[in-house]
Structure 1
Amino acid sequence: MIDVSLVLLKHRRILLDELIGLTGLNREVLLGKLKKIKEYVRIDDDEVVIVKPLDLAIHLLKQGLSVKEISRYIDWSDFEKVSAEILNAHKYFVKTNFRLTKPVKLEIDVIGVDPRSGRGLFIDCKHWSRGIHRSALVEIVDKHVNRIEKFIKYYRWARDKWVYFKYLREIIPVIITLTTPSLRYYKNTLIVSIQEFNQVLLDLYTVLDLFNIEPYRLDVK
């Protein structure tokens, strides 16, 4: 029997009758299962809509479903949306899908700028279908740091692309993953799971001190 939550993750919105057909459950049993995950879905008339796909994915991981199975139905945009929501809740200005096309090309998934401290979090959202080796994480961080260094070098071209860059004074690179990473920091870059991200922001100064992370300074002259 197909898992109801996995069907919802795949389709994101689906008619109740279609869901009954795909899962093989009768209406009463299906509604009972939907009630158990009501914080992640809503029912509009006869249509079931998933409203928090990444939260549902994390819930399924905790229930014992495999990362490989779940990651088939989520992507970087789910991480991007949740990361942006968390940053907004902490009063960061947020930019998603930042792109610079000249004089060099670079792209940052999510940028959060705290106007009070001048701190910027430059986030790369990643998910994998299986556990990630330490060496692969190192390679991912190296590429992200390279983007940050390009951004700093060509900042005078980037700063006019978003009005809130005027507050930016320093940059902390962050990698956000679905599951708890095996490597927590490397090259002044934080590596955290999406589940931990809110708490990391609450305790950011402590976390930076714990891992001896020095933000990348930005020359704004």
Structure 2
Amino acid sequence: MSERIIREILLMILRVGAYDLKKISESLKISEEKIIEILDSAGISYYDLEKYDKIDLALKYLEFKGDPEKISEHLDWRDFEKFIEKIFRNYGYYVVRGLRSSPPLGFEIDLLATDVFKRRSYVIDCKHWRRSREKILKEVAEDLIERIRRLVKKCFRIKRIYPWIKESDHVIPIIITLRETETRKIFDKVIVAPIHLLKDLIENIDYYIDLLEIKPIKISCETLELEDFKQKDL
């Protein structure tokens, strides 16, 4: 069965809901019986669709060579974060979503993805914007660097909850947007990439770090003193 047809069915399910089989059939001009048959051939039982959330369907869509940007348009910003989180997890990263710390030096981070083998973490901002101006992206990049600075200062406590963080020697900030034309950098530390190039970025991260001359931010959870954390836990 054509991968294109499977992708179109999955998109329609996300758009109108799994239970409106009649509407999906009318929109795609495919009989309801045929839709059920096509889904079954793709390893998806129509009658078990309630077990799939939006992110599961989005990842299934990617399995059939779907466009991440197109599928992301049917996700809200929370789903967008979860979608990116699962992509990183599928590549073997340890991922924390919604990492928060209270004042002083409070911060909030969408995703913290750690590659323990390369001893590197990525602090990721997920921007589900249809359009993004360069000025705003620069402000986001500056804010992201500041949040990383605060994260580093609280690294000692963070590693108690997420012990793999101590395996990181460096942190690299990444902004993932809904629409960008290419993978590029802002300043000399922040990578900006569109969702449709995320898999390419993950698979070729060392290449992009060299190409863009990214300067990773050093981190050491072992050298910080306990006195730095007297006031509040995370």
Question: Is the alpha carbon distance of 1:184 and 1:29 closer, same or farther for their aligned partners in structure 2, counting shifts above 3 Å?
Answer: same
Alignment of 1:88-107 (within 5 A): 88-107=89-108
Per-residue deviation, 1:213 = 0.2
Structure 2 unmatched ranges of 5 or more: 1-7, 224-234
- Cα-Cα RMSD: 3.6
The whole-number CA distance in structure 1 between the counterparts of 2:159 and 2:125 is 19
The whole-number CA distance in structure 2 between the counterparts of 1:90 and 1:46 is 25
Aligned twin of 1:29: 31
Question: Is the alpha carbon distance of 1:31 and 1:217 closer, same or farther for their aligned partners in structure 2, counting shifts above 3 Å?
Answer: farther
SS of the equivalent of 1:196 reads helix
The whole-number CA distance in structure 2 between the counterparts of 1:91 and 1:48 is 24
The whole-number CA distance in structure 1 between the counterparts of 2:183 and 2:34 is 40
Give a deviation string over 1:36-67, Cα, whole Å, max 9, x none: 8x8696511686955323675994788xx7x9
Per-residue deviation, 1:23 = 5.6
Question: Is the alpha carbon distance of 1:28 and 1:205 closer, same or farther for their aligned partners in structure 2, counting shifts above 3 Å?
Answer: closer
Give a deviation string over 1:156-182, Cα, whole Å, max 9, x none: 343323121121211000111222346
Aligned twin of 2:229: none
SS of the equivalent of 2:174 reads strand
Aligned twin of 1:80: 81
Percent of aligned pairs with the same residue? Answer: 23
TM-score normalised by length of structure 2? 0.70
The whole-number CA distance in structure 2 between the counterparts of 1:134 and 1:207 is 20
Question: Is the alpha carbon distance of 1:24 and 1:114 closer, same or farther for their aligned partners in structure 2, counting shifts above 3 Å?
Answer: closer
SS of the equivalent of 2:26 reads coil
Alignment of 1:174-185 (within 5 A): 174-181=174-181, 184-185=184-185
The whole-number CA distance in structure 1 between the counterparts of 2:42 and 2:107 is 37
The whole-number CA distance in structure 1 between the counterparts of 2:51 and 2:153 is 48
Greater share of helix = 2
SS of the equivalent of 1:214 reads coil
Greater share of strand = 1
Alignment of 1:2-21 (within 5 A): 8-10=13-15, 13-15=17-19, 18-20=20-22
Structure 1 unmatched ranges of 5 or more: none
Task: Judge conservation of contact 2:10–2:57 (CA < 8 Å) in 1.
Answer: no
Q: How many residues align?
A: 208
Alignment partner of 1:43 is 2:62 = no
Q: Kindly provide the amino acid, as one letter, of the partner of residue 87 in structure 2.
A: I
The whole-number CA distance in structure 2 between the counterparts of 1:46 and 1:148 is 39
The whole-number CA distance in structure 2 between the counterparts of 1:32 and 1:84 is 33
Task: Judge conservation of contact 2:113–2:123 (CA < 8 Å) in 1.
Answer: yes
Question: Is the alpha carbon distance of 1:88 and 1:133 closer, same or farther for their aligned partners in structure 2, counting shifts above 3 Å?
Answer: same
Where do 4+ consecutive residues of structure 1 move more than 4 Å?
Answer: 3-7, 30-34, 38-42, 45-50, 54-62
Task: Judge conservation of contact 1:120–1:172 (CA < 8 Å) in 2.
Answer: yes
Q: Kindly provide the amino acid, as one letter, of the partner of residue 138 in structure 2.
A: V
Task: Judge conservation of contact 2:120–2:168 (CA < 8 Å) in 1.
Answer: yes
The whole-number CA distance in structure 1 between the counterparts of 2:78 and 2:195 is 13
The whole-number CA distance in structure 1 between the counterparts of 2:109 and 2:178 is 18
Per-residue deviation, 1:149 = 1.6
Task: Judge conservation of contact 1:100–1:158 (CA < 8 Å) in 2.
Answer: no
Q: Kindly provide the amino acid, as one letter, of the partner of residue 14 in structure 1.
A: A
Aligned twin of 2:201: 200
Of residues 51, 58, 71 in structure 2, which corresponds to 1:53? 58
The whole-number CA distance in structure 2 between the counterparts of 1:165 and 1:144 is 18
The whole-number CA distance in structure 1 between the counterparts of 2:43 and 2:139 is 34
Q: Kindly provide the amino acid, as one letter, of the partner of residue 141 in structure 2.
A: V
Alignment partner of 1:146 is 2:146 = yes
TM-score normalised by length of structure 1? 0.74
The whole-number CA distance in structure 1 between the counterparts of 2:128 and 2:118 is 30
